Amino acid sequence: MGFSEARRLLRRLLARRGAALSLAFLAVVALAALFAGLMPLDPLRQNIAESLKPPSPEAWFGTDELGRDILARVVYGARTSLVTAFGAVVIAALIGVPVGLVAGFYGDWRDSILMRCIDVLLALPNILFAMALIAVLGRSQGAALVAVGVAGIPGFARIARAQVMALRQLDFVMAVRGFGGGPAYIMFRTILPNALSPLVVQAIVLASIAILLEAALAFLGVGVPPPTPSWGEMLRTGKSYLYEAPSYAVLPGLVLTLTILSFDTIGRALTAIIDRDETDAIHETAGGGRR
């Protein structure tokens, strides 16, 4: 997927209202997370005398049980979520894609062994697997990131394998093979660039899953340790104060929901665009055959 193709994809994405709104929301969240340090917000400053205050001009989202600004914690919590999502996608892609490429390209005993390993990973519920990994690695953002990333490997591996199997017998691949291209060259320089679109969609889907999983781990008390802000941790603590300070759980929950919804909407829009491109290509091929 070249730069011009990416621009074309973005333009088509922005033409869809839901996807455009989602992109705008994610851009705001990402910018807030990126430039949180420049804002007059301190997510760790305690002021017990001002605990559990409702939203006000001084604290737009209200304050938590330790008198900390909930908006500040939501903004800094975005860092936790986005870093986890990005890290998890990188880990999952870096391991899953080569595994899928090798398995799909050779299709022999290597395929059997690699895919049975992937099946084992797939058989484990994500949340249980992540909790087990955190139990071994200890509770930290790094551990959560690795746990979520490892849980995402099967998705990438299976999609990459399916793409390779669909492309490996096509003419352009055979041509490269005929010109003496080695397996690594064919896999990574010939097939992979043509299989990127579904992998990009998978990355976006995994990002939303990663954010949800990180929040779930924090909600279960095994995520990023406090006082580091985390949306899931805020939900976990905030639910105990639903009577006294509903905004404590509701607002971080809303931001979390909208973020996941945005990733999901973009992922669906991309899938629809790619599917349409493929359908058009098939029709084009079929039409050419008739001529």
Partner 1 sequence: MTKLSRRQFCMTGLALAGAMPLAGTLPASAQQLKGGTLRVAVLSELANYDPQQLSTVNFHVIKNLYDSLIEYTPEGKPEPSLATAWTISPDKTSVSLTLRDGVTFHSGTPFKSDSVLATLQKGADPKRGKNVFSTMSIVKDWSAPDDRTVVINFKAPVPERQILDLLQFLLPIDPKGIDTVETVPAGTGPYTLVSRAVGQGLRLKANPKYWRPNQPVTQDLVFTVFTEDAAASAALESGAVDIVYGGSSRSAVRLKNAGYQVFAGPGPLVQVFRINSTRGPFRNKSFRQAFNHLMDRASILRVGYAGMGQEVALPWAPASPAFDAAYTKTYGYDLEKAKKLIAASGLSADEIKGWKLLVNGSDEASVSISQIVQGSLQKAGIPVELDMRQGAEYVTALLGGDFAATFGAVGNVQKFPSRVATNSIYRTSGNPVLKDPHPHPDYVAAIAKVDAATGSAADVKAAYDNLNKVMVEEAFGVPTNSYDVGLIVASEKIGGITLDIDNLLVARTIGFK
Tokens 């760790």 belong to 44
User: Considering beta carbons, is residue 138 or 178 the nearer one to partner 1?
Assistant: 138
- Stretch near partner 1 under the rule CB under 8 A, chosen from 177-185, 195-203, 222-230, 259-267: 222-230
DSSP 8-state class, residue 134 = H
User: Considering beta carbons, is residue 136 or 286 the nearer one to partner 1?
Assistant: 136
CA 212 to chain centre: 9
132 binds partner 1 per the rule CB under 8 A: no
Contacts with partner 1, 150-189, as mask; x by CB under 8 A: ----------------------------------------
Q: Which of 33, 15, 14 is nearest to 255 (CA)?
A: 33
Least Å from the CB of residue 237 to partner 1: 7
Q: Are 54 and 245 in contact (CB under 8 A)?
A: yes
Question: Which residues, numbered 242-281, are part of the site for partner 1 (CB under 8 A)?
Answer: 242-244
Considering only 32, 222, 260, 273, the residue that binds partner 1 (CB under 8 A) is 222
Instruction: Find the angle CA(153)-CA(157)-CA(162) to the nearest 5 degrees.
Output: 155
CA 38 to chain centre: 26
User: Considering beta carbons, is residue 174 or 242 the nearer one to partner 1?
Assistant: 242
Measured CA to CA, the distance from residue 225 to residue 92 in angstroms comes to 23
SS3 of 63, please?
strand
User: Considering beta carbons, is residue 91 or 218 the nearer one to partner 1?
Assistant: 218
Q: What one-letter code names the amino acid at 196?
A: L
Measured CA to CA, the distance from residue 194 to residue 181 in angstroms comes to 16
54 binds partner 1 per the rule CB under 8 A: no
Considering only 1, 33, 46, 185, the residue that binds partner 1 (CB under 8 A) is 46
Measured CA to CA, the distance from residue 110 to residue 257 in angstroms comes to 40
136 binds partner 1 per the rule CB under 8 A: no
Q: Which of 202, 207, 266, 257 is nearest to 19 (CA)?
A: 266
Q: What one-letter code names the amino acid at 95?
A: I
User: Considering beta carbons, is residue 42 or 277 the nearer one to partner 1?
Assistant: 42
Contacts with partner 1, 62-91, as mask; x by CB under 8 A: ---xx-------------------------
Least Å from the CB of residue 77 to partner 1: 15
50 binds partner 1 per the rule CB under 8 A: no
Q: Are 68 and 44 in contact (CB under 8 A)?
A: yes
5 binds partner 1 per the rule CB under 8 A: no
Least Å from the CB of residue 139 to partner 1: 5
Measured CA to CA, the distance from residue 208 to residue 172 in angstroms comes to 35
CB atoms under 10 Å from CB of 136, counted, come to 8
128 binds partner 1 per the rule CB under 8 A: no
- Stretch near partner 1 under the rule CB under 8 A, chosen from 115-123, 235-243, 260-268, 281-289: 235-243
Which residues are at the interface with partner 1 (CB under 8 A)?
44, 46, 48, 51, 65-66, 139, 221-222, 225-227, 237, 239-244
